[in-house]
Amino acid sequence: MRERIIEIVATHTATRTPEAGHLANTSVDVYRTRLAERSQIEPRPHNTVWGSMDNPGPLSSPELRSYADRGYHTERNVLAAADIDACLREVASITERLGDDERVIREKSSGDVRSLFAVHQLSEVIAEICSRESIAGVARQILDDDVTIHQSRINLKPGFAGGPFYWHSDFETWHAEDGMPAPRALSVSLALTPNFSTNGPLMIIPGSHRRFVSCVGSTPDGYHHESLTSYRPPFGTPEEEDVAVLADELGIDTITGPAGSALYFDSNCLHASAGNITPYPRSNLFVVFNAASNALREPFGGTSPRPDHLAHR
């Protein structure tokens, strides 16, 4: 297995990328999942970078090519120290204000807060950060469209007690459970604490965004709460053999960097993170941008749509 620790620095890597053609408005579901007893790994027919590699915006053409190739891009100093302090104050105040609200997800074992959802709606400070050119502007450039926030959340991994997140593609879930038609969406993960190689940083299988790994099993209605509290949910996670095939072929990148760093990653990257038993907390703000032309429909997996705080319609 090829393992790389990616320290976020302002590197510019140029790589070649034959991109597939656009299939924006196809009526055939080319991402069939949760319907069969066997999984499949298939090529992704849609682009990663939409429009062209010369789309105007914060990223250079080589950075766009590299994003199309590997499925992610990193930058340092996207948030200033004052932004980070403000976000962490918002976490404390939202948690206190909301108590047992459904937007607060707690670790099953310890009761510690694992995730806070819809934070851009709960905090004007966070909404302003999400709207910046260095954040929403990058999404508009990559997706070549106006964007909406599909979901926002802060994932907290307190020292000694932060739980893991099992391997998954976000797009697989958003397609099956939220009715997102195509992977014309991306996440920006903003580090509110340092992400060390040891405190549960994100791991990505680079290039996995170019394959669609279907998941097994028809999903029960109302299942979403369990999927958020369980580190390895029984639905919407790929088979171990499929993760192993892709990790053997493509390797695993571990994304580390100081507080204030950003990781922009395609909605279909296979990613995961380990638990945090170091003394050092790891908290990241995730903002998911969806292209305006990729508006949600009925869920493709046959369940009822998830609540608005998980999938804004």
Which positions lie near ligand AKG, rule CB under 6 A? 155, 165, 170, 202, 271, 273, 284
* Residue 97 exposure: Cα atoms within 13 Å on the Cβ side: 11
In terms of CB distance, is 46 or 168 closer to ligand AKG? 168
**Are 122 and 103 contacting, i.e. CB atoms less than 8 angstroms apart?**
yes
Q: What is the DSSP letter of 20?
A: P
Could you tell me where the beta strands, DSSP code E, fall in 139-234? 147-157, 165-169, 185-191, 202-204, 211-213
How many whole angstroms separate alpha carbon 285 and alpha carbon 289?
13
Q: Which residue is nearest to ligand AKG (CB)?
A: 273
Shortest reach from residue 18's CB to ligand AKG, in Å:
28
Shortest reach from residue 272's CB to ligand AKG, in Å:
7
In terms of CB distance, is 189 or 294 closer to ligand AKG? 189
**Residue among 57, 84, 69 nearest 16 (CA):** 69
Shortest reach from residue 196's CB to ligand AKG, in Å:
13
Shortest reach from residue 53's CB to ligand AKG, in Å:
27
In terms of CB distance, is 136 or 191 closer to ligand AKG? 191
Shortest reach from residue 165's CB to ligand AKG, in Å:
4
In terms of CB distance, is 165 or 289 closer to ligand AKG? 165
**Are 168 and 272 contacting, i.e. CB atoms less than 8 angstroms apart?**
yes
In terms of CB distance, is 138 or 202 closer to ligand AKG? 202
Report the run of H or E that residue 56 belongs to, with start and end.
none
Q: Which residue stretches of the chain are H helix?
A: 61-70, 81-98, 119-122, 124-130, 138-143, 170-178, 224-229, 240-250
